[in-house]
Amino acid sequence: MKKNINKIWFTLIEMIVAITILSIIMLSVFVVYSNIININKKLELSRILQENSRNITESLATEIRESWVDYSIYWTPWFKDLNYTLSWSNQLYIKQWATPKIYCMIKRWATPQVCDDNCSLDPKLCYLWKIGSDIELSDDRVEINNLSFYISWKPNSDITNIDKEWKVTIVFDLWIANWKWLNQSMLDSTKIHIQTTISTKLYKNMNN
């Protein structure tokens, strides 16, 4: 009988050791798996940010290069009364036949579509739109804050060299919207600052 008891205790010790080793292995696998999941999440978030920033900058660059920025708007008394400076603005005006095309931040479902200065304070449900159209430059996966257009206007008709090109510098902060499955630390890590300068073409297609 004593011999059988010793054999049972030896088996229990083996089981404890085996369970301990298995637990360590499973914990290691879980940590590795969790890290892979987090890396994939960050890559996906980075892709979303890059996609939105590229869409915003390329769309605006096309308008600025192919059309005329309506520089006269920024020097009107009406515009100054809105407390906008001569150079910085949160609205971009592009010339067209009757009224200028306007790009700015507005609230989704806003009726009528008007530029919303409060979007700089609370970017939730705010998107970069082309006023009077369904063209949405950013989507609901991201938030845009501190959007500004720096207008470099040279009021000189004698444009003969590159130093006198008219330019627009686009500046904004972009981050992932607060999705339920994202923790705050991951949200904070996604914030990026975008700044790019676009020169208008010296010679344009007058049909635009």
Nearest to 125 by CA among 111, 108, 105, 138: 108
H-run or E-run covering 10: helix 2-66
pTM over 0.95: no
| Whole-number average pLDDT of the chain | 77
Predicted confidence at residue 160, as pLDDT, reads: 43
Q: Could you tell me which residues are beta bridge partners of residue 107?
A: 126
Predicted confidence at residue 180, as pLDDT, reads: 61
CA distance 74 to 54: 26
Residues of the chain with pLDDT under 50: 1, 83-86, 157-162, 205-208
